[in-house]
A = this chain, B = another copy of it.
Amino acid sequence: MKASVFIGTSLDGFIARENGDLDWLPKPSGSEDYGYEEFAATVDAIVMGRNTYEKVLTFGEWPYPKKPLIVLSHAPLTIPAQLTSVETMSGSPAEIVSRLSKRGLKHLYIDGGKTIQGFLETGLINELTITRVPVLIGRGIPLFGPLQQDVLLRHIETRQFSDGLVQSRYVVVR
């Protein structure tokens, strides 16, 4: 099973303000998606925590690919009509990966701060694509958290966009 992160952060490493707001992200422009569609086409399912799920529901538009969505939660979910394939799951990152692997899934898109940190900590993330927005927001929900040991990465490529966003792709070194 391959598991990937594809996420935007402020230059100081936050994926959202403390209240989940993303107002510091650039406004979507028609033509530039920073490689998101290309990435999304390669994943079989999305895995995220309940906090991220509930925040994203407030956006009105569902920004993820139309693929199976696994929400890590013990409690039942409110599932809007336009989401066709949502389920809750609970367990350790290794248990989640094992269960999804048995279904024949090959590539997971891991999203949300705590979920990403949990999968990274247990060595289950293979690839990270981080797009840095040129702003410091000072506080918020961090992409990364404490680790039991260093995680070595191999830099694959970095792309610069005309609006100042810088996107780097890394592979986790085992």
Contacts and interface: CB of A to CB of B under 8 A. Distances in A.
A8 interface: no
B147 A134 contact: no
A34 interface: no
Interface of A: 11-13, 24, 120, 130, 132, 134-139, 143-155, 157-158, 160, 164-166, 168, 170
Given A135-B153, A153-B164, 11 more contacts: A11-B130, A11-B144, A12-B144, A120-B136, A135-B150, A135-B152, A136-B150, A138-B147, A138-B149, A154-B164, A158-B158
B134 A155 contact: yes
So how many copies of this chain end up in the complex? 2
A134 B153 contact: yes
A57 B151 CA distance: 29
A76 B98 CA distance: 60
Contact of A153 (B136, B139, B151): B136
